[in-house]
Amino acid sequence: MDLQNITLISFGYFEEVFLRDIAEAVKQEYFFQVNIKEGRLDLSEFYDPGRRQYDGTKLLKEVDSAYSSDSNKTVGLFSVDLFIPILTYIFGQAFLNGRTGIASLYRLSNERYGINTADNFISERFKKEIIHELGHTFGLIHCHIPTCVMRSGTYVEDIDQKSSSLCPGCRKKISGVVI
């Protein structure tokens, strides 16, 4: 096991250049080596026909048990609509102080149809979402600093208003874990 290592597992048939761009942004924020891998999951097992969405908690557990053993932190990247029972949808979720998170770009486009991963908006939002979920795996909870990536967001506009970086307070909390 290579410590100081983050792995992004692509379950969404993302383009390589798109993934490499995200990996670079994650690396700049956490100073870990970032690897990209392709994942294979039968997503139909996670589909909830009543909600016509995918069960985020089940997916998070699956990624954690099947894909997270050889990295310090792992994030599963999806392009399907995720939910948890209490919310209409989620952008992603993670185990607090754990080793795994998931994120989806499904809700990150303004219209959610004809998602174009070359769209800079989508890419920036997805980066922030992934860096946010990783923050949870490093033990960070939500932050009230408006520009902090750990600020919670319900709408894409919330994501657009924050930066892709941890505020000094959040960074200090994980110093010792992250350089």
Show which residues are catalytic: 133
131 to each of 114, 127, 165, 171, how far by Cα in Å?
25, 6, 8, 12
Beta bridge partners of 33: 5
| Shortest distance (Å) from residue 140 CB to Zn ion | 7
Single-letter amino acid, residue 161: Q
Q: Where does this chain bind Zn ion (CB under 5 A)?
A: 143, 145, 148, 150, 167, 170
| Shortest distance (Å) from residue 49 CB to Zn ion | 27
23 to each of 19, 51, 63, 127, 149, how far by Cα in Å?
6, 32, 18, 9, 16
Nearer to Zn ion, 13 or 103 (CB): 103
Nearer to Zn ion, 77 or 170 (CB): 170
CA 39 – CA 61 distance, rounded (Å) = 14
| Shortest distance (Å) from residue 22 CB to Zn ion | 18
Q: Give the length of the chain.
A: 179
Nearer to Zn ion, 112 or 172 (CB): 172
Longest dimension (CA), the chain: 45
78 to each of 31, 85, 108, 129, how far by Cα in Å?
23, 18, 11, 12
| Shortest distance (Å) from residue 103 CB to Zn ion | 10
Nearer to Zn ion, 116 or 154 (CB): 154
103 to each of 2, 46, 136, how far by Cα in Å?
23, 15, 12
